[in-house]
Structure 1
């Protein structure tokens, strides 16, 4: 980390000084959440928040992304900072005075805080351009919640040498968590979050009267047997040192009580922490379903849709996050994560191309117990807004630190 500690003096206090702007933007976004890749209101709010700053703004062509580039006062590396912008298709039950005004849509994963923190980090860095070596690439990304928004931005040239700021030398993201103590930064090197694949299985038999199953080929017992067989395959065929979660979460078959259906449908999610394990489990799923179906006289069609890859933090970059956060916030505000999380993140696409790290920012309200607080993706989740100042300071510090 090239600058000395004096370079970060007052950074947290400066972040707190722009806190009214951070909170105002966060609450405006929270009231008007948008889902997916097309987020016109959110995009326009980001552009307005950056309008008076000395940044070059580039809008996405295929999605509602915003890329802003801040040039430093002298040559140096390019550091990418990411803030995702999309909400979730769910209703809000927090009772907040700035709760969602859009039916069935809620910022339940804290992406509104990410956007606000990143915009305020741009403001803090603009005031310190003379200290900034190189440039900062601010990545405001739509479609993180299953829509591969980062991949769209990469396809548009975000990381290319001819892109908005040239090829980034390092990339960082913060993700707020309602179940971590407010203002703490938690990070680990290596695999941080899982690959996430969707599994769909159609079992086909032969329909008939429910009173005469011997005249039909009932796909329901075959499907039921597959659920157990798949769990056994995970525990018997996959090394316990390679974490794997396979959950069948949806089963549909039949239309009424006295008809054996022709088909049964199941779907679920697969989470793994290495590409080798991921490929091995794909093979196991296909094998188990095929032969279990055959044992019942049925057939099985398996579709596996590849989701986000494993989110892997660069060892050195993860160490820089911990060191920087300790310098800016205090060592007692930094913790090493003991294990990865089996959730998924499309910042994985960026980290597959650029050395960097994603870290978690504690956002549990002080009056709640982190162990019992409603978590991210809950209809009742609430984030501590004071913790956003810590996020702003860390984002800005990572850019100032460079490599």
Structure 2
């Protein structure tokens, strides 16, 4: 066992004592999920939960964000802790008694647990304010699910809330996972999540009667050829040691069986782990689609919408998160991820500006094999609420450890 750290002593017990409050907030949010950047009900629930704490509250001007600042007893650095708040457009299909009451909206990525854990961590830290030499910046963020909420908050001055230093000295986020053992902490140095871009291609030919394709310019064979050509390009232009995924997941063309359409449409996602590979593939996708279309005497309009950048953990901060996890949760509950994952996360915007780290908190339901559990973003996903006490202790511990 690691030696007892007086700064962190009792954190687990205090987090478990707050568990009824943590669970109550999580379930209230789960019943009433909200999507995107405008989350008035969620924002108000956060404000109500924080109302009795000694915090400076700052509300977003263009989005439903909440920034709460806890000043320590002495001056020192600033640490940022993030909890995202938005849900996903899914109809929930789980057996829990507190399932979503909103049609086609569900907290399927566990952001309700993130909010509840961060709010309880704020309460725990407020009780230990005398131990803090510095400032805690609590970032309650809307719009993580593809809406660039973190970028909006940064543009509105989030990082300037750290005081005269200009930006926080460190930043941390936890992300719950239904496919990791409950209560375990997993992280890694360097890239941990991918950049995500949307690829859209419109192939234009000339419509006509399906019985006389020689009188038309059929865009469908051109579009079909592009799918294969793009996969070949990926394996021939990208180093095998550089992770990259290109998936064409949406194809639309035509209206009936006897009409050759004028256009065909392709849509997919590009995931990369480095900015040079990302830039290369943007160029290659344009080139392959244009030239494949020309081979069929068609044209191709290629649009690539840049999404989140690569989420990169600072090596020292990732090590600190793992070390803290060993002391707060126990050495056996901390694992180093051998590889990054190809999902995307807009905490990347914060980590571009501030040294910090993202870590995954396991919450696989009891009695279920993590390998067969419904994953995040599934309409059947269920999280073990007992894991939230570990998340509360970790959030609070990260601040206490940084602000000694």
**Alignment TM-score, normalising by the size of structure 2:** 0.98
SS at match of 1:180: coil
Q: Distance in 1 between the 2:114 and 2:166 partners?
A: 24
Distance in 2 separating the partners of 1:164 and 1:268: 44
Is contact 1:313-1:351 (8 Å) kept?
Answer: yes
Q: Which residue of 2 aligns with 1:191?
A: 191
**Alignment match, 2:305:** 305
Aligned partners of 1:131 and 1:324: how far apart in 2? 17
- Show the counterpart of 1:362: 362
Match of 1:371 in 2: 371
CA positional deviation for 1:164: 10
Secondary structure (helix, strand or coil) at the match of 2:363 reads strand
Match of 1:219 in 2: 219
The Cα offsets for residues 2-24 of structure 1, whole Å up to 9 and x where unpaired, read as x9812111101100010010000
- 1:243 corresponds to: 243
Separation of aligned partners in 2, 1:164 and 1:99: 44
- Structure 2 counterpart of 1:208: 208
Distance 2:63 2:298 in 1: 43
The answer to which of 297-306 and 156-165 deviates more is: 156-165
Match of 2:76 in 1: 76
> Do 1:135 and 1:165's aligned partners in 2 also have CA atoms closer than 8 Å?
no
Give 1:43-82 correspondences, 5 Å limit: 43-82=43-82
> 1:161/1:35 Cα in 2 relative to 1: closer, same or farther (>3 Å)?
closer
Structure 1 distance, partners of 2:7, 2:162, is 31
In angstroms, what is the RMSD of aligned CA positions? Answer: 1.3
Q: 1:374 to 1:162 in 2, by over 3 A?
A: closer
Call closer, same or farther: CA 1:122–1:37 in 2, change over 3 Å: same
Once residues 326 and 241 of structure 1 are traced to their aligned partners in structure 2, the CA distance between those partners, rounded to angstroms, is: 31
Deviation at 1:159, TM superposition (A): 1.0
Taking the TM superposition and a 5 Å limit, the aligned residue runs for 1:234-313 are 234-313=234-313
Alpha-carbon distance between aligned partners in 1 of 2:150 and 2:366, rounded to the nearest angstrom: 33
Separation (CA, whole Å) in 1 of partners of 2:73 and 2:296: 71
Alignment of 1:157-172 (within 5 A): 157-160=157-160, 166-172=166-172
Secondary structure of 1:318 counterpart: helix
Counterpart residue number, 2:117: 117
Preserved CA contact (<8 Å) 1:43 1:65 = yes
Deviation, 1:160, is 2.4
Contact 2:135–2:162 under 8 Å retained in 1: no
- CA deviations 1:24-55 (Å, max 9, x no partner) are 00000000000000000000000000000011
CA contact (8 A) 2:218 2:262 kept: yes
2:162–2:168 CA contact under 8 A, matched in 1: no
SS of aligned partner of 1:265: strand
Kept in 2: contact 1:65–1:141 (CA 8 A): yes
Deviations 1:153-204 (A, max 9, x none): 0000001267699521100000000000000000000000000000000000
Secondary structure in 1 matching 2:27: helix
For residues 162 and 368 of structure 1, the distance between their equivalents in structure 2, rounded to whole angstroms, comes to 42
| C-alpha distance in structure 2 between counterparts of 1:180 and 1:272, whole Å | 23
- Unaligned stretches of 5+ residues in structure 2: none
- The Cα of 1:95 is off from its aligned counterpart by 1.7
Report the equivalent of 2:88: 88
Aligned counterparts of 1:67 and 1:161: Cα–Cα separation in 2: 8
SS of structure 1 residue aligned to 2:300: strand
Q: How does 1:74-153 map to 2 (within 5 A)?
A: 74-153=74-153
Q: 2:78–2:162: 8 Å Cα contact kept in structure 1?
A: no
Contact 2:137 2:161 in 1 (8 A): no
Q: Structure 1 regions of 5+ residues with no counterpart?
A: none
1:350–1:4 CA distance, 2 compared to 1 (3 A)? farther
Q: CA deviation at 1:366?
A: 1.4
